[in-house]
Amino acid sequence: MIIVYHKNNTITAVAVGNAVVDALPSGSIVSGILQLAKQHPDDILIWCHDDLKQVLDTSRILKLFHHKKLLFSYRTSEGNFLDSSIGYAEESIYIKVNKKVTYPTWQMSSEVGAVHTSVLNACRSAFSEKDSLDYFLNSFAKRAMPAGLFCYSEPRLIAADASISETQKLGKADVFRFVKQHYKSRWILLLLMNLFLHKREFPLAAFLKSVFYKSRTFKKSNLSNIAIQSSKQVVNTASIDVIIPTIGRKKYLYDVLKDLAAQTHLPEKVIIVEQNPLPGSTSELDYLDAETWPFAIKHIFTHQAGACNARNVCLSHTTSEYVFLADDDNRFEPDLIEKVFDRFRQFGAECLQISYPQPKEKIKKRPVYQYPNFGAGNAFVRRSCLQDVAFNMAFEFGYDEDKDFGMQLRNKGFDILYLTDLQIVHLKAPMGGFRTKPVLLWSDAEIPPKPAPTVMLYLRQYYTKEQISGYKTNLYFKYYKYQHIRNPFPYYKAFSKQWESSVFWARKSEELS
């Protein structure tokens, strides 16, 4: 274990194991860290601000590294290194960081953090030693995260609440530089536009200066030679329940059950919530009793339609160690569950998302990576993660109920990894014939809401103020060509009324859920 202590952009001390090193590395902090990584190619490297030396929890840090492809950091002060205006350039879950739990994000901090030296050595060609430590860490994580480096804000790096005497934040010029180097070029123009529209700022000099920066690249193959085999035990009994909401897809559900019956690792129980909103209707799933199945089936029939309610009912009947959240129009290979458990053990993960192509769709293979979304038809989750987690009924019959479910998991400290080497084919079967059009709160609204109120609800819960404003700007341009008002100013007035209608109904649905 190597610890680099620093203050005022200078390395103040280095400890290797229990010994303090007399000769400090030369050059910048970044240069010093890279020198130490080269000298110690198979070790954990920790950086720590001098003010946090007394609360650094090295024993816990060692436990956190259950495999090598991990990058942790924590910022004790409010906000992040990057100015909040970065939200105008990125619509993702990585901007609004929950600092109370282990939370996936590329937003790193120089205050305290840790990485395995093999990762730094493998990616050395992607680094600039001229960067400050904060800029270096954010740039590295931003590019390496999609390539399979697992990056987290981790409060357990320190043993007690603390703060440092100096904090650094990027100025607007550096935010423009970061956007130019890590996003498509159009985003610096959108950043400038959003700053003017929403904050009445117009940093033209910062914008013009950023034009001349080159985009930073990252080879996904940099990390490919670092194998992952987690030391974390996440599988004990390896029992699993399958939950399936269904409505009007008798034949397709039968095929799903047959695929489950053919599994080399059988589920303990399959929980089916069958919906039919027609009064007096009864179950059409006669094969549940007519055939013999190699697992228990819990069948619940209800006249209440809605995927959120159906999945919540399913979840309430789960008892196994893991849960497979499936759809009634899935198809998969006989060894799917067996291979999923192999991946749980390999990555030490508790939530996995499986690739979900439609028939004949080709999925591009890529390393396992942290998934920013969640799909309720192709997910495997450890049941202990689901305590106090449920599908929010405010999203019923709308959009983003599964994304909201995923965010509930993340805000409890559970990351979601995405696998492209395993597949569940999503047939996208036609809807059942007895479905009825739901009556939503805003169905008869005088001003039709845009975006859908459930989308607005998701934005308000999980996006920063700047992200929401940036989303509004992007939506304005996205729908301009589809509407009949050609004058952009009257269109903006009409668009704003629809936006406010969406905000109103999002609040109302949240109150009533």
CA angle, residues 205, 209, 214, in degrees to nearest 5 = 160
How many CB atoms neighbour CB 408 within 10 A?
A: 20
CB 73, CB 101: distance < 8 Å: no
Helices 488-512 and 465-480, interaxial angle, to 10°?
A: 130
Contact (CB, 8 A) for 136 and 109: no
- Are the C-beta atoms of residues 226 and 69 closer than 8 Å to each other? yes
pLDDT value of position 227: 95
Give Cα 53 to chain centroid, integer Å.
Answer: 31
Share of the chain above pLDDT 90, in %: 87
**To which residue do tokens 């240069």 refer?**
31
Tokens of 16: 């290797």
Residue recorded with tokens 């259950």 = 66
Question: When comparing pLDDT for 20 and 118, which is higher?
Answer: 118
pLDDT confidence of residue 379? 98
CB 231 within 8 A of CB 258: no
Question: Residue 262's pLDDT band (boundaries 50, 70, 90)?
Answer: very high
pLDDT digits (tens, 9 = 90+) for 477-506: 998 888 888 888 889 999 999 999 999 999
pLDDT digits (tens, 9 = 90+) for 44-61: 999 999 999 999 999 999
Confidence (pLDDT) at 63:
96
> Which domains can be identified in the chain, with CATH numbers?
2-169 (3.90.550), 240-426 (3.90.550.10), 453-512 (no CATH)
Q: Round to the nearest angstrom and report the end-to-end CA distance of the chain.
A: 50
**pLDDT for position 169:** 61
Q: Provide the sign of the torsion angle of the four alpha carbons 61, 17, 112, 179, taken in this order.
A: negative
- State the Cα–Cα distance between residues 101 and 156, nearest whole angstrom: 8
Helix 453-462 vs helix 488-512: angle between axes, to the nearest 10 degrees? 80
Q: Which of the residue ranges 17-26, 463-472, 490-499 would you say has the lowest mean pLDDT?
A: 17-26
Give the mean model confidence (pLDDT) for residues 272-287: 94
pLDDT tops 70 at residue 434: no
Q: Which two tokens stand for residue 81?
A: 């290194």
In angstroms, what CA-CA distances link 111 with 11, 263, 432? Answer: 13, 48, 55
CB–CB of 270/298 below 8 Å?
Answer: yes
Q: Between β-strands 322-326 and 378-382, what pairing exists: parallel, antiparallel or unpaired? A: antiparallel
Q: Higher model confidence: residue 169 or residue 497?
A: 497
**What are the structure tokens assigned to 63, written together?**
């436990």
pLDDT score recorded for residue 291:
96
What pLDDT sits at residue 326?
A: 98
Calculate the alpha carbon distances from 224 to 95, 247, 386 in Å. Answer: 27, 43, 32
Task: Tell me what pLDDT residue 347 has.
Answer: 98
pLDDT digits (tens, 9 = 90+) for 61-77: 999 999 999 999 999 98
CA distance 495 to 500: 9
Cα–Cα distance measured from residue 114 to residue 64, given in angstroms and rounded to the nearest whole number: 10
Per the prediction, the chain carries an average pLDDT of 94
What is the value of pTM for the model shown? 0.95
- Helical axes 29-39 vs 133-144, angle rounded to 10°: 60
pLDDT (mean) for 85-90:
96
| pLDDT for residue 431 | 79
More confident of the two residues 284 and 79? 284
- What pLDDT is attached to residue 187? 97
Residue type, 386: L
Quick: pLDDT tens for 189-232.
999 999 999 999 999 999 999 999 999 999 989 999 999 999 99
The first and second tokens of residue 394, run together, are: 């405010």
Residue 162 has pLDDT above 90, yes or no: no
Per-residue pLDDT at 170: 67
What's 490-511 look like in SS3? Answer: HHHHHHHHHHHHHHHHHHHHHH
What confidence tens digit (pLDDT) does each residue in 353-384 have?
A: 999 999 999 998 999 999 999 999 999 999 99
